[in-house]
Structure 1
Amino acid sequence: MVESKFSKVDFSRYFQPPSLKAARRRRREKVHIINDFSIPDEMKGIGRNKKYLIETYGCQMNEHDTEVMAGILQEMGYSETAEIAEADVILINTCAIRENAENKVFGHIGYLKPLKRENPGLIIGVCGCMAQEETVVNRILHKYPQVDLIFGTHNIHRLPQLLQEALFSKEMVVEVWSKEGDIIENLPQARKGHFQAWVNIMYGCDKFCTYCIVPYTRGKERSRRPEEIIEEVRDLARQGYKEVTLLGQNVNAYGKDLKDLDHYGLGNLMDEIRKIGIPRVRFMTSHPKDFDDHLIEVLGKGGNLCEHIHLPVQSGNSDILKIMGRGYTRERYLDLFYKIKKAVPGASFTTDIIVGFPNETEAQFEDTLSLVRTCRFDGAYTFIYSPRAGTPAARMKDNIPMEVKKERLQRLNKLVNQLAEESNAKYQDQVVEVLVEGTSRKNADMLTGHTRTNKVVNFSGPESLIGQLVQVKVTETKMWSLDGEWQREPEVSQS
């Protein structure tokens, strides 16, 4: 073991290892809603003439958390930089859902070591889901002394205090709560764009799928009050935003913990947001077990509710789904799929699928392929099973050889790609509404954006269209995108 000045710090008051039993107990603890966030006087202006950089890995919730941290840093006087060599504070907002994501983060932390040597005053912080894992914190303590600060997902609002400690302490600052934090309203937020916005409506997950680390890193389900969410969306509408995405680890479990409200769920919330003047409203990520009939009924009303449903299935075999702890069968999933499809004509569907779960047979994998053929998904995020320390599945024997996992993933991706190409082909010569998001990464002369059904569209047009909803005629369809021609609106003659 590498000895360092950080090795003997007592972290027991901050940190507990992931535990299914402890995580379930945490559901009973009362969650407080706090509306009085402020920057401590001694930290106001401390970032003047200094810069920050936040590297973000993982899901939309991490993107949202990054916007909050950026907002806090800017209120402290820091300005953002994209140049790592210019930064006075570097925060790495991490993802724990796959081993590959963790390896990337450790590689990046290692890359920062010479930078820290050249600039001893640089503050390097690690936060997000990986920071909630005991094994990760121990590894950083013993192998990455260049890190000054580690904090978890529940105490982002304490960034000013933690940064103050990091700036003036000679020891690594670690604050990782196993207990969930409270719901903190009125946090500053530096949104990346001026026309699309993430709106977090709840935190955590109570599903405890056997392979998933999220209930440990994000804690129990905690819903924001509907009036706070609705006011945030109204404010975004007043600012001219064109699209909001309602976020939650299990977004359609929203409201289950709001005991003072009578059966108020995501359907009720979206029915109210549907009446606000935002052109587009999306939500993610759904769990099939909590996708109820009322939500489907509300989605069927259309309007500004976008016709794109991300509905993770994970496996097409009921026995594997049971071992995964998903809480539904293949048949239940298909019933839900067809019910939504009937209520929302023309909807696009995407999903998540894991291959090579412990004990998955060839026949069970074939069930997944047959479900994909039946649903004809517009796209899918596909993964090889990756055991996460502390989860029940990690105690199972990972008995599918890697070459088998890779071969199954290849077959699955070939089918997914084929269906995506066929789905996009239906848009040939259609005129679609596109929210223009910027210039294409592959061709700076082209603009890019998404349809209501979440299809990527590239086309030529002036940059003044960025942030606008425009009509585009599809001229060529590809596997993962559409090319088109901007349909200019006819000029109105002045008389």
Structure 2
Amino acid sequence: MKKVYMENLGCSKNQVDAETLIKLLEDDQFTHTTEVAEADLIMVNTCGFIESAREQSIESFFSLHEANPQAKIILSGCMAQRYAKELQDELGEASAIFGNRDLSKIHEVVRQVFAGDRVIELPSYPDLANEVYERNELLSFPGSAYLKISEGCNHWCSYCAIPLIRGGLRSKLKETILIEARTLIERGIKEINLIAQDLAAYGTDGPDKSSKFMDLLEALVALDGDFSIRLLYIYPDAFPPTLAKFIAEHKKVLPYFDIPFQHADQKVLQSMGRTGTKESYLSLIESIRNTVPEAVIRSTILLGYPTEDDKAFAEVLDFLSKAKLDWVGSFTYSREEGTKAYSLRGEREHKKANKLAQGYQAQLQALQGPITNANLARFVGKEYEVLIEELVEGEDLAIGRMYGQAPEVDGLTVVLGRSLKPGQKVLCGIRAVNGLDLEAVPVGGALNG
């Protein structure tokens, strides 16, 4: 039986694709290995969102090819989808270039590759009714999983290449999502992380153009089982007006809000294609906290956008000082060909502006760090469920997350205790803040084994 090694790069949506590809290849008589040296097939599931991600994808490709030059190697994912023609000419080492739309076509691609052919395959999306994929091995830590409810995006923010890569918004069928959710619950998943480019846009690609997200969320909450739902990524400009109240009334949905404000200066926001303002965003934050007092709010800020200057950045700092968000991530603008913002400045000016943006990033972190630290202090002395993710070898310690910590992007909870198991929830008392992490001890044992 042949073995496949999967290198997954990029976002959580890419991770779901990688998990799907592994299952499809297992159906084709492959076994998944975590050792590249023993693989017959290497798959590099790439990210193509920004320049640094593409550089990492190419570096990973050559590193893996060098580690096992005898294996067939397929470049898949977002970078393959967008730059197939260029990669076909420049990446002769690739056995195949495979896009990210109809993943079921991997069967035929692999068969051709092992028959000696070099394949360039960018299939279109399948009919929604046929897009029902299974996943066996999950690449998340035990106890949690991502559930993708849509592909692509119709927002067309001026800096973003996602619609160029993934296409326009394509909401999955509600019943397909519910089937996937039931499967995850039945296999013991405690935390389902809903993902999309914008969760609230779900259904707006339908005939009446209205969001169906709240209907979907209501159906998910009604499912039987001991699980929680975390919502990752909801645009502020179309934030569902009933969402905060719904979360306050339904404990299965964690009071965690991931809202990418991106900026606070009016001119920058308008150029980005955003319709909100600093004032409307502050009002949204206040409304959420009034409705859900225990709310944890995360956001991302884009720095170095072409129309940003010192005055515009000062608006960001003022916004953050007033918003007092729990978590803030930032990234610098990447000049992406084909986007509306691409022509706003040339490459030489972009490189100069990027250095300035890195300085902005340092200032942002210096401001936000103490805010996050102070916000974390409110958890000390209280009890929360912690999802245990991994054990610290040789010590009576485990690493986990409470409701205010999303996977991969936020701080963690360090739990001091014995007989803890990854994938279980444990009621813990928070006793200290350590940097961006919490320290805790079990108070009631495992709630969910």
Superposed pair shares fold, TM > 0.5: yes
Could you say which residue in structure 2 is the equivalent of 1:316? 264
CA distance in 1, matches of 2:420, 2:204: 43
CA contact (8 A) 1:191 1:197 kept: no
1:99 aligns with 2:45: no
CA distance in 1, matches of 2:68, 2:383: 52
Could you say which residue in structure 2 is the equivalent of 1:259? 207
Q: Can you give the 5+ residue segments of structure 1 that lack an aligned partner in the other structure?
A: 1-47
Structure 1 residue 232: Cα displacement: 2.6
Matches within 5 A, 1:16-27: none
**SS of the residue 1:435 aligns to:** strand
Matches within 5 A, 1:88-237: 88-115=40-67, 117=69, 119=70, 122-134=71-83, 137-170=84-117, 172-177=118-123, 180-183=125-128, 184-192=130-138, 195-237=143-185
Letter in 2 for 1:133: R
CA contact (8 A) 1:433 1:471 kept: yes
**SS of the residue 1:371 aligns to:** helix
Task: Identify if the C-alpha distance between structure 1 residues 255 and 162 changes in structure 2 by more than 3 Å, giving closer, same or farther.
Answer: same
**Highest CA radius of gyration, 1 or 2?**
1
Letter in 1 for 2:195: L
**SS of the residue 1:383 aligns to:** strand
CA distance in 1, matches of 2:427, 2:132: 36
Structure 1 residue 439: Cα displacement: 2.1
1:485 aligns with 2:441: yes
Task: Identify if the C-alpha distance between structure 1 residues 317 and 244 changes in structure 2 by more than 3 Å, giving closer, same or farther.
Answer: same
CA contact (8 A) 2:333 2:354 kept: no
CA distance in 2, matches of 1:428, 1:101: 37
Structure 1 residue 83: Cα displacement: 1.2
Could you say which residue in structure 2 is the equivalent of 1:433? 385
**Under a length normalisation based on structure 1, what TM-score does the superposition of the two structures give?**
0.82
**SS of the residue 1:477 aligns to:** strand
CA contact (8 A) 1:109 1:144 kept: no
CA contact (8 A) 2:75 2:96 kept: yes
Task: Identify if the C-alpha distance between structure 1 residues 404 and 194 changes in structure 2 by more than 3 Å, giving closer, same or farther.
Answer: closer
**Under a length normalisation based on structure 2, what TM-score does the superposition of the two structures give?**
0.91
Percent identity of equivalent pairs: 25
Structure 1 residue 440: Cα displacement: 4.7
**Of 425, 442, 446, the match for 2:397:** 446
Structure 1 residue 388: Cα displacement: 1.2
Task: Identify if the C-alpha distance between structure 1 residues 321 and 163 changes in structure 2 by more than 3 Å, giving closer, same or farther.
Answer: same
**SS of the residue 2:242 aligns to:** helix
Structure 1 residue 138: Cα displacement: 4.1
CA contact (8 A) 2:5 2:43 kept: yes
CA distance in 2, matches of 1:339, 1:440: 40
Task: Identify if the C-alpha distance between structure 1 residues 423 and 72 changes in structure 2 by more than 3 Å, giving closer, same or farther.
Answer: same
CA contact (8 A) 1:299 1:343 kept: no
RMSD: 2.3
Could you say which residue in structure 1 is the equivalent of 2:338? 390
Structure 1 residue 263: Cα displacement: 5.0
CA distance in 2, matches of 1:91, 1:247: 23
Structure 1 residue 369: Cα displacement: 0.8
Structure 1 residue 116: Cα displacement: 5.4
Letter in 1 for 2:432: E
Structure 1 residue 139: Cα displacement: 4.1
Could you say which residue in structure 2 is the equivalent of 1:32? none
CA contact (8 A) 2:20 2:135 kept: yes
Structure 1 residue 373: Cα displacement: 1.1
Letter in 2 for 1:413: Q
